Amino acid sequence: MYLLQQLANAIPLAALYAVLAFGYAIAFGVTKRADLTYGALFAFAGQIYVLFADVGWNRLWLVLPAALALGAACSLAFSGGAAFIVGRNVMARVVLRSPNTVIVAGLGVLIVLMETARLASETRSLWLPPFLNRPVVFAGDGSYPVTLTVIQLVNCTAMLAIIASGAALLRFSAIGRIWRAVTDDPKAAELCGINAIGVFLLSYWAAAMIAAVSGILATSYYGNMDFGSGLMFGLKVLMVASIGGYADPPRSAGGAALLGLVETVWSAFAPIVWRDLFIFSLLVFVVVISRREKVVP
């Protein structure tokens, strides 16, 4: 039963890694460079969500569902606005002039977002109250049942729905064909009448909104998003997405889900103090052995 419970615990983490990797692969398809901004937007969305939920609860005296709705709406608005500004005024320009500067620009954006959230919260670590934490029993006897909470099930359902709908859109719609054309060769796509810059901005914004929604869902479960988590998630998402390959978002999501399972099993059966070292070492190993001798334009 202990093993079954740990496998059940792996589902929410695997779903989170999968949806983050899926969104990151969409952005990577048009930037072709490592970008820490994606993880920063994930953390920024969670921080703004908690901040405005606190404002709604303690200053506007809203009931909890209304306060959470206010936090989520403000988080999506601020994250979407930040993604649009960064995509149009930073990333689109540096990709055209010197693509390798995407890495440096992403680090700069990450610092700005982290410090903005910290200053807005006055360096206070805010926490959400627990909600939807009723356990749902799946198996086992009364002494050791296998359970997940309602919020975990809601998060997993929402994240899997994002991946499924996004994968269907990329595979079967004209938008997906246009995205693939631009990721393969933006100059050739422009010769065919496609607005490559417009596709770049839309892809970058859509990926950022996936990160923002994921940040809200993750924060709803964990209750908090630390100010320094932007860098950690930026690095982790960058390497997690590489397991399934950056070129195919569904494959990238599948590889990331597998890593979530491995991380949970390690936490259950091995010293947790060595978990991050093991995970990052495994990611580096996978990146090295899967490296292709291909020149990225």
Q: What 8-state DSSP symbol labels residue 121?
A: T
Tens digits of per-residue pLDDT, 116-172? 988 888 888 889 999 999 999 887 766 778 899 999 999 999 999 999 999 999 999
Q: Domains in the chain, ordered, with CATH?
A: 2-130+149-289 (1.10.3470)
Tens digits of per-residue pLDDT, 74-98? 999 999 999 999 999 999 888 877 7
* Inter-CA distances, 47 with 6, 21, 31, 200, Å: 28, 20, 26, 27
- Report the alpha-carbon distance of residue 139 to residue 51 in Å, rounded: 38
Angle, to 10 degrees, between the axis of helix 2-31 and the axis of helix 174-184? 70
The pLDDT of residue 293 is: 45
The pLDDT of residue 295 is: 43
- Report the alpha-carbon distance of residue 62 to residue 68 in Å, rounded: 9
- Going by C-alpha positions, the residue among 124, 118, 128 that lies closest to residue 40 is 118
Q: What 8-state DSSP symbol labels residue 128?
A: P
Predicted TM-score (pTM) of the model is 0.91
The pLDDT of residue 291 is: 59
